[in-house]
Every structure is written in C-alpha cells, then in structure tokens.
Amino acid sequence: MEYVNPEGLRLDGRRPMEMRQLRAEIGVVSRADGSASFEMGNTKVIAAVYGPREVQNRSQQMNDQALVRCEYSMANFSTGDRRRKTKGDRRSTEISLVIRQTMEACILTNLMPRSQIDIYVQVLQADGGTRSACINAATLALADAGIPMRDLVTSCSAGYLNSTPLLDLNYLEDSAGGADVTVGILPKLDKVTLLQMDAKLPMDIFENVMQLAVEGCKAVDSYIREILLENTKTLEIHRGV
C-alpha cells in the first residue's frame, strides 16, 4: 500500500514533515485541580490532575517526595470498532506506567513530601499517537494545577514508511507495520525522557527518524507555551491586573 504517493503527499494530504493540527484547552474539568484537553488531528484526549493531596494508602507514602500515580483509560467509542474491555488490560497498564515515569521525572517531587499527585488521562478518540497526546495533555494539566516542574514535557511520534521518515503518524500509518518511534523531551533542558520504538530500523535511519520526532516535540512545545501564555493573560484579566 502506498503511504506516500509520488508527489510526496500522505494518505491524509500532509507532507512527510508536517504535523497534524494541534488544539488544546485548559480547565475542562472544573472539579479537578488542573485539567486540559489536547487534540492532535483526530486524536482527542482529556487529562485531569488531582493533587497534591493526602496519600490514600499509608503504606505507599514516601517521606521525602511526592507519590505520582497515573491511570490511562480509553472510552468505549474511542476506536473504530467498539471496545469491550476498557480498563485493566495490558496496553492500558503499560501506557499508564510510561506516562507516570515520564511525568515523575519532570515534577519536582521533593518539594511536596508525603503527598500524592494523581494524573488521569481519558482518551475520547484514538487515531494514532495517543501516547504522545496523553503526555502533552498531562503536561498542560499539571501546569494548570500549579505543580512545580523542571520543564514542560512534550512528546511526538515519527515513523518510516515507503523509505520516507514521516512525522506524527495516524492510525492507518501506525498499523502499516513500519517502525513507530515515540519521543518525549524536556525542550529547554534539551533532554530526552521517553524513547520507545516498535519494529526495527537500521541505525542511521533511526537517527533521522528520532531527530524528526524531536523537531516535532519542539513544535508542540512552542504551541503549548502559547496556550499557557494566553491562559495566564486571561487569569490576569480576571484578577483585575
């Protein structure tokens, strides 16, 4: 199947180095301490952060840092065919773990000992790149909750089909069987916190694809900063500054 046609356009009309359209909104769940919704093309994700709050399970309490917990769930209607088992399956557990480890690395947990921070991510629509959308949404939600972080974590995925590195794969391209590299970075510190890959790639091509994904992350980062800046301006107006 042809994923990049001879003119250089992909299945949805994008160029190989072009990301899908991004849309983010802060404060969608009023009850949460911080929340955000993030859309990458057709992938829609909502993240809600509850914390820092008292640890529910005394045995897990840590005296010198905060406990970070995460749960990833997909709605029944998020995929094309209706899913029956949405919670507790292996993929959800794995992605919950991945998001937790990524966010834990950037939150300044030693500033909030003996407390717990819960990050809940709910996928409303899945069209490839859910992992990245979840991490981006979680970053925004944590920023909305005012939790101190080293830097924003942004994430993007890239792949390699028809001998072309492609940025931000959608579901069709992802299920094509080619490589899928997901990268999460701390942009200002220029450090990689998450790197996952499926399938196999030769080393030099892998470097290209990873570089492409890192560029994608930086683009997401500038978008997120814009959104946060607008949000801050709105808050200032409400406070009458």
Binding site for another protein (CB under 8 A): 28-32, 35, 42, 46-48, 50, 71, 73, 75-77, 79-80, 82, 86-88, 118, 120-122, 124-125
| Least Cβ distance, residue 208 to another protein (angstroms) | 33
| Least Cβ distance, residue 75 to another protein (angstroms) | 5
Beta-carbon neighbour count of residue 61 at 10 Å? Answer: 15
Name which of 31 and 200 has its Cβ closer to another protein: 31
Name which of 4 and 133 has its Cβ closer to another protein: 133
| Least Cβ distance, residue 82 to another protein (angstroms) | 5
Beta bridge partners of 166: 159
| Least Cβ distance, residue 203 to another protein (angstroms) | 38
Q: What's the longest Cα–Cα distance across the chain?
A: 60
Beta-carbon neighbour count of residue 211 at 10 Å? Answer: 13
Name which of 49 and 213 has its Cβ closer to another protein: 49
**Cα 146 to Cα 52: distance, rounded to the nearest angstrom:** 10
**Cα 40 to Cα 186: distance, rounded to the nearest angstrom:** 19
Name which of 96 and 193 has its Cβ closer to another protein: 96
Name which of 13 and 80 has its Cβ closer to another protein: 80
**Cα 76 to Cα 205: distance, rounded to the nearest angstrom:** 37
| Least Cβ distance, residue 76 to another protein (angstroms) | 4
**Cα 225 to Cα 161: distance, rounded to the nearest angstrom:** 31
**Cα 42 to Cα 77: distance, rounded to the nearest angstrom:** 13
Name which of 88 and 202 has its Cβ closer to another protein: 88
**Cα 138 to Cα 98: distance, rounded to the nearest angstrom:** 12
The pair of structure tokens assigned to 226 is 């814009």
| Least Cβ distance, residue 87 to another protein (angstroms) | 7
